[in-house]
């Protein structure tokens, strides 16, 4: 099992609602272009009120830290939502179900 750091932006039309980041465990270290599935929560259950969100996120960038063991940082494609309320629901999903940290901008 490998631990990687992920960063996901939450965007709207002409705005950024925030970002979600933190460490996750994966069987293999993903490459650029790979997709990570967040459809199986690490904690709890998928909240019904969240509706449809993209549980499959593509790796857009990969940073391997020099002299830091196997530390890998992954940038994942952004999630676009229609409203701030929806963005906050998505952030709560990643916090509660996957143990990531949400940083709302507004």
* pLDDT > 90 fraction of the chain, expressed in percent and rounded: 47
Q: Give tens-digit pLDDT for 31-60.
A: 999 999 887 777 766 666 666 666 789 999
DSSP-assigned states of every residue in 68-96: STT-EEEEEEEEE-SSHHHHHHHHHHHHH
Position of tokens 């940073």?
A: 63
């Amino acid at each position: 099992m490998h631990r990687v750091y992920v960063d996901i932006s939450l965007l709207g039309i002409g705005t950024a609602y925030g970002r979600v980041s933190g460490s996750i465990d994966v069987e293999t270290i993903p490459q650029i272009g790979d997709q990570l599935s967040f459809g199986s929560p690490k904690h709890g259950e998928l909240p019904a009120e969240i509706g449809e969100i993209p549980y499959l996120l593509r790796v857009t960038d990969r940073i391997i830290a020099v002299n830091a063991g196997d530390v890998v940082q992954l940038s994942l494609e952004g999630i676009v939502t229609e409203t701030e309320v929806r963005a906050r629901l998505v952030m709560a999903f990643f916090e509660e179900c996957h143990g990531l940290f949400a940083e709302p901008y507004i």
